[in-house]
Amino acid sequence: MMQKRLRKLEGIRREMDQPHLYGPPEAELTLVGWGSTCGPLKEAVDILQAEQIRANLLHLTGIWPFPVKQCQLFRKIKT
């Protein structure tokens, strides 16, 4: 039964939309959000850019199952 659930999970991962990066990829500040936070976070990125702060947004369309392939995007983010 557990194997059946794991196979379903892999299918869901393949069908999920990929996260979207809004703003310059080399930004100093990255905001991460999902779902309905996209609009306000895009506005925040635009405000920060107007203040000469290089910022971007990594917007996830789903967080379960977490898009493992995008973990590489997180590795590029400075902490």
pTM of the model as a whole: 0.69
Convert 27-46 to b/e letters by CB count within 10 Å (16 or more is b): beebbebeeeebeebbebbe
Contact 56, 27 (CB under 8 A): yes
Query: Using only C-alpha atoms, what is the Rg of the chain?
Result: 15
Q: Where are the domains of the chain?
A: 2-75
Q: pLDDT tens digit string along 12-69? A: 667 667 788 899 988 989 998 988 999 999 999 999 999 999 999 988 877 666 666 6
pLDDT (0 to 100) of residue 68: 61
Under CATH, to which class is 2-75 assigned? alpha beta
Predicted local distance difference test score (pLDDT) of residue 72: 63
20 neighbors 45 (Cβ within 8 angstroms): no
* pLDDT reported for residue 70: 60
